Amino acid sequence: MQQMISLQDLTLWIDEFLRNLFGGTWALLIEFVLIGLALLVAYAVLALFLIYAERKICAFFQCRIGPNRVGIWGIFQSTADMIKILLKELIRINRADHFLFRIASFIVIIGSICTFAALPFAKGIQVLDFNIGVFYILAISSLGVVGILMAGWSSNSKYTMIGAMRSGAQLLSYELSCGLSLLAVVVLAGTMQVSQIVEQQSDLWFIFKGHIPACIAFVTYLIAGHAETNRGPFDLPEAESELTAGYHTEYSGIQFGFFYLAEYLNMFIIAAIAATMFLGGWMPLHIPGWESFNKVMDYIPSFVWFFGKTGFCIFLALWVRWSFPRLRIDQLLNLEWKILMPICLINLLLMSVAVIF
């Protein structure tokens, strides 16, 4: 790990420079502002990239070309759509609860950004690193369902209300499997601190080190996490053939854009958590006894490892979305309560036994 490129030296240099220039209090305030701006810019750029990537991957699966007019290979199509949505009129809905209607989109985006801040993007680059990091991620990511329920109820529409009820039932159900799958990794690691979980995978990733229980937890987490993002075949809350657009049917302009951004970044967050907890995060692939191979792996920058693993998990999610038809609501809930939940509970017991012995 000695040769691996770390960005911590850069962040320490910036901190020292600001403290020498402005003093401790002002330097801390400026750092807060800079980190917030960096998160917002990364959030927006990743969302634009994911929208473009999904369109191209969808086109590949359906034997189409996808975006190909705005820019080379259509790379600026997402940017053009962003400009269009920013210029759209915000339509006022009659007999809606306007306060809740407006604040709902902000709650969804705040929950997404706060979860985004807890991800370790590279060696030395992590905004929030609590000693209960996994608990924080599970707690703050659940905030989005509150905004969805508020959006559906405040819009004064049967379509939005049905979509919000579906989303509430779906998200609250699948959060249990997500939590139990991550709890298996916590049992294996013996800590909830995300940075320590990544460090413990320096010799071998948990997907290999944890044997069969870790593999089961990885698969169940991917399924439950995919359902958490409201994407096909679990897209019942937004079923366009039944509910127009579900809980955000009545939204327009930038308010709709917030829901749209949060949906794509939630997909990134679910994939990033899977990469961090099971695939080593920014940690390179190390095989015990292969010292030469491990040294070569260390030369690959840590952020390349992180985004490569996250991109792999995102591709799996898109592959599933464009390969399976939408489930019925009873099938969706049966999958969680009668299949995934018992598997996760038994797997947690297996992981505990494996760690004890």
Amino acid letter for position 180: L
Q: Is residue 316 part of a domain?
A: yes
Per-residue pLDDT of the chain (357 residues; tens, 9 = 90+): 445 666 777 788 888 888 888 887 888 898 889 888 988 888 889 989 999 999 999 899 888 988 888 888 889 998 998 898 888 888 888 888 888 888 988 998 888 888 988 999 988 788 888 889 899 999 998 888 888 888 888 888 888 888 888 888 888 889 999 999 999 999 999 999 999 999 999 888 999 988 899 999 999 999 999 988 888 788 877 766 666 667 778 888 888 888 888 888 999 999 999 999 999 989 998 888 888 888 888 888 888 999 999 999 999 999 998 888 888 888 888 999 999 999 999 999 999 999 998
φ, ψ at 125 (rounded to 5°)? -120, 95
Q: Is residue 315 part of a domain?
A: yes
Q: Is residue 222 part of a domain?
A: yes
Residues 51-104 have pLDDT tens digits of 999 999 989 988 898 888 888 888 999 899 889 888 888 888 888 888 888 898
C-alpha span between 213 and 344 (Å, rounded): 9
What phi-psi label fits residue 124: left (phi over 0), alpha (psi between -120 and 50 degrees) or beta?
left
Q: Is residue 65 part of a domain?
A: no
Give the mean pLDDT of the chain: 87
Q: Is residue 326 part of a domain?
A: yes
pTM of the model: 0.90
Range of the domain at 204: 95-356
C-alpha span between 5 and 224 (Å, rounded): 34
Residues 228-254 have pLDDT tens digits of 888 878 887 776 666 666 777 888 888
Q: Do the Cβ atoms of 135 and 192 come closer than 8 Å?
A: yes
* Count of Cβ atoms closer than 10 Å to residue 343 Cβ: 18
C-alpha span between 281 and 180 (Å, rounded): 19
C-alpha span between 251 and 291 (Å, rounded): 56
Q: Is residue 189 part of a domain?
A: yes
Q: Is residue 282 part of a domain?
A: yes
Structurally, how many domains does the chain consist of? 1
Q: Do the Cβ atoms of 151 and 164 come closer than 8 Å?
A: yes
Amino acid letter for position 318: L
Q: Is residue 38 part of a domain?
A: no
Q: Do the Cβ atoms of 229 and 267 come closer than 8 Å?
A: yes
